[in-house]
Amino acid sequence: MSNDPKEPLLLDHNYDGIQELDNNLPRWWVWLFYITIIYAAVYLVYFHVTHTGNLSAAEYDQEMKVGNEIKAAAMGKFESSIPTLTPSTNAVVLDSGRQTYAKFCAPCHRADGGGLVGPNLTDSYWIHGSNFTDNVTVIWNGVPAKGMITWKKVLKPDEICSVASYIYTLRGAKLATPGKPPENQTPVNNGPSQFE
Ligand code: HEC
């Protein structure tokens, strides 16, 4: 404190001409400070003593659990709707199916559907059934033992529907290069196009 009676708040030091007043802290600041202390105490008890509140990691797990349940329910719903599905002829749906096909399926089934590692999708020979819903089921579940991926883990149900609708349009396509020969199946003419 200063000894100067005119400036009782002036502190007794002077650094290069800079002096300091010993003002009281504003009330609002002091209250804010008390509130943070109370908040910290409540926080500590709530999260770390009684464990009433979930910490971020537990909150994340909880939300993931709820999310996974919603996802499983949606997947189950789609799965049970497969027998009722029909191929879409909507140009937007087919175009998105074409893009999915080019990205994910062409490496094994060839860009034109003629077949490479995977079977020919343009002929009338089917390993897992010739109906549209058979195709959707194979795409959804895959045939992991034979190298066909389980796409339900990668693609959403509507993407699977659109890619299945797209490959449906490849049936009977006239290929520039001959497609992969069939693997001993009986031919089933069950596509939108003609198989002469
Ligand atoms: C890693 C290679 C691979 C990829 C990628 C792949 N497939 Fe296949 N696919 C196969 C093989 C191999 C089979 C044959 C399975 C069997 O012999 O049972 C098959 C079978 C199929 C069948 C059934 C054919 C039939 O004769 O019944 C359909 C439909 C099909 N795939 C669609 C798709 C679609 C759509 C995609 C892209 C989302 C795709 N596949 C991606 C390898 C692949």
- Could you tell me the pLDDT band of residue 194, with boundaries at 50, 70 and 90? very low
Rounded CA-CA distance 65/107 in Å is 35
Q: Which residues form the pocket of ligand 1, taking CB atoms under 6 Å from any ligand atom?
A: 104-105, 107-109, 117-119, 126-128, 135, 138-139, 143, 146-149, 151, 163, 167
- pLDDT for the residue 7: 79
- pLDDT for the residue 196: 39
Residue 84 has pLDDT above 90, yes or no: yes
Structure-model confidence comparison of residues 182 and 103, the more confident one: 103
Which protein residue has the closest C-alpha to ligand 1 atom 7? 148
pLDDT digits (tens, 9 = 90+) for 104-163: 999 999 999 999 999 999 998 999 998 999 999 999 999 999 999 999 999 999 999 999
- Could you tell me the pLDDT band of residue 1, with boundaries at 50, 70 and 90? low
| Spacing, Cα 115 to ligand 1 middle (Å) | 9
CA 130 to chain CA centroid, Å, is 30
- pLDDT for the residue 182: 86
Which protein residue has the closest C-alpha to ligand 1 atom 12? 118
Task: Choose one of 112, 122, 148, 168 to mutate for the ligand 1 pocket test, by most ligand atoms within 8 angstroms of C-beta.
Answer: 148
Residue 34 and residue 40 in contact, taking contact as beta carbons nearer than 8 Å: no
Task: Choose one of 94, 98, 109 to mutate for the ligand 1 pocket test, by most ligand atoms within 8 angstroms of C-beta.
Answer: 109
How many CA atoms does the CB half-sphere of 155 hold within 13 Å?
25
Residue 101 and residue 169 in contact, taking contact as beta carbons nearer than 8 Å: no
Which atom of ligand 1 is nearest the CA belonging to 117? 12
Rounded CA-CA distance 76/41 in Å is 46
| Spacing, Cα 70 to ligand 1 middle (Å) | 28
Which of 32-36, 79-83, 188-192 is predicted with the least confidence, judged by mean pLDDT?
188-192
